[in-house]
Chain A
Amino acid sequence: MTTALKTEQVVSQIAAAFTGADIKVDGPAVIVAPDMVNKVCAFLKSAPGLEFDYLHNLTSVDFMDYFEVVYHLTSLKHNHSMVLKTRCFDRNNAEVASVTGVWRGADFQEREVYDLMGIKFTGHPNLKRILLWDGFLGHPLRRDYL
């Protein structure tokens, strides 16, 4: 059975590796700053005992006050999972560091978030619309898109 790792356990390890980083906990999820997502993910992938080698799901939610990008991670080796989140408060210029360098599986999923929610992933090798066409105006999954 896949066990959800306790957030304290993960947070303490992240905090030890990134001193002074802003790490919050919200329910079962660990929240980090958008510009350090890629570094935290690289750490989570390689840290002994964690080894989150598999990115299950990457998506985003528009809460009007902020965007939340959600990562569901699993370790196939240890069969445990965790939820990582990051929040962007600037609607017009939402940017998150891309994790394509850590997991190739993020490629299409980040493009989809960019396409439908309008969040830019810095460092993505080919960030363009995926489901909609290039000339499309706006990002339909935003709550204020009518």
Chain B
Amino acid sequence: MSLQTQELLLNVGPQHPSTHGVARFRVWLDGEVVTNLEVVVGYLHRGIEKLAETRTYTQVIPLTDRLDYLCSITNNLAYCLAVEKLAGVKVPERAEYIRVIMSELQRVASHLMSVGFLLNELGAYFTPIIYCFRDREKIVDLFEMVSGQRMMYTYLRVGGVSQDLPEEFIPAVKRLIVDLRKAVDEYEALLSGNEILLARMKGVGVLSPELAVNASASGPVLRASGIKWDIRRAEPYSIYDRFKFDIPTAKNGDCYDRYWVRIEEMKQSLNIVEQALRDLPGGEIRSEVPALIRPPKGDVYRHIEAPRGDLGFYIVSDGSIAPYRIHIKPPTLINLTTMKDLCVGWKIADFIVIFGSIDVVLGEMDR
């Protein structure tokens, strides 16, 4: 008697398949091996692009917080840069430095979450994530000190930032940098050489550089595949051309490399914060901008290196107080384009790790 086998269609999600949010996958399995995969998104779609059309330019800023809610500052930044370019608004020096300090701290906070959750997916339940939360908490405390909020900061404004740094902020950041450097070393000691972690991530879910470029992958996913491309260096926005930092790239494009790139990026971000604190000038924090901004007719596209990749804002103005059209280019949705290629041939448990290593935030994917 011969054994009869058949392909199994497994629905993963949309209820937190890997603690990331409401992503859903349809996975075809042969035994434990993935043979096909379909990404199903849209469960968190709130129509932010449509909502933005009925608001003034300033009122859109809180909406951008709710895209990638783990890195609100960089969302604010991308949007404000786009409006500033469209309306020809200049930003004071001090505000530029504050923006860089906040963005880079945000990158560290975001990567901490990413690393912690990735370890959760590997089965290292809650020990690494609690360490990461512990350190992210310190960053969030500082953000609260500056903006009064712990998650949806709405801190940036067109033409600057909403309020100046409080007096106790700078000594606190200096202490924090020391702490975080120690913490990142601690993660490396605890995780990077860990045998289970290596066995589960080395060589798993390899994204070739050709496919990464062809599929418009960006951020750590692109750099883990060996492409040295970082908007902060390729097309420096704000004042990033003034700082010295490396762009960590890996060679293999597997899950481990994506993890490693994030760890290294945290170190680089801390270097940037240190340099920005050293050079932080005094002066104005916001330029004079009318309450109702009326940019001239036209369109603009600005993109920045957000923690999860290349976040872009395409804004069309018809000369009125509300944007005619805003398109948000979501890096994480586009990073998932190659999800099927990465997962086919791997086991169902590896699929969860691969998904974790791409690091998505559903608020941004679905908008």
Which residues of chain A have a CB within 8 Å of any CB of chain B?
A: 1-2, 27, 53-57, 59-62, 70, 72, 76, 79, 83, 103-109, 116, 129-133, 140-141
Contacts and interface: CB of A to CB of B under 8 A. Distances in A.
Nearest to A61: B325
Interface stretch (B87-95, B170-178, B180-188, B333-341): B333-341
Contact of B213 (A53, A60, A109, A133): A53
15 contacts: A1-B235, A1-B236, A2-B235, A27-B298, A56-B312, A61-B299, A76-B213, A79-B234, A103-B215, A103-B216, A105-B214, A105-B334, A107-B215, A107-B337, A140-B50
B366 A131 contact: yes
Contacts of B333: 108
Given A56-B303, A131-B45, A108 B337 contact: yes
Contacts of A109: 334
Q: Kindly name the residue among B45, B211, B325 whose own CB sees the greatest number of chain A CB atoms within 10 A.
A: B325
Contacts of A57: 301, 303, 312, 314, 327, 329
A124 to B, nearest CB: 13
B49 interface: yes
B238 to A, nearest CB: 13
Contacts, number: 85
A79 B215 CA distance: 18
B336 A104 contact: no
B227 interface: yes
Nearest to A79: B234
Interface string B233-261: 01110000000000000000000000000
Given A2-B234, A83-B301, A116-B49, 15 more contacts: A56-B301, A56-B303, A56-B329, A61-B327, A72-B312, A76-B213, A79-B234, A79-B235, A103-B216, A104-B215, A105-B337, A108-B333, A109-B334, A131-B41, A131-B42
B133 interface: no
CB-based closest 7 A-B pairs? A105-B216, A2-B235, A59-B327, A131-B42, A104-B215, A57-B329, A131-B45
Contacts of A1: 234-236
B83 interface: no
Contacts of B366: 131
A59 B298 contact: no
B236 A53 contact: no
A131 to B, nearest CB: 4
Given A1-B236, A108-B337, A59 B227 contact: no
B334 A108 contact: yes
A104 B338 contact: yes
A58 B152 CA distance: 28
Nearest to A76: B229
Interface residues of B, number: 37
A116 B328 CA distance: 13
Interface string B78-117: 0000000000000000000000000000000000000000
Given A83-B301, A108-B334, A56 B236 contact: no
A133 B366 CA distance: 12
Contacts of A108: 39, 333-334, 336-337
A70 B227 CA distance: 25
Contacts of B312: 56-57, 72
Contacts of B324: 61
B118 interface: no
Contacts of B42: 129-133
B316 interface: yes
Given A56-B303, A72-B312, A141 B50 contact: yes
Interface in B39-89: 39, 41-42, 45, 47, 49-50
A58 to B, nearest CB: 8
B234 A70 contact: no
Contacts of A140: 47, 50
Nearest to A27: B298
Interface string B259-303: 000000000000000000000000000000000000000110101
Contact of A70 (B229, B303, B314): B314
Interface string B7-43: 0000000000000000000000000000000010110
B301 A72 contact: yes
Contacts of A116: 49
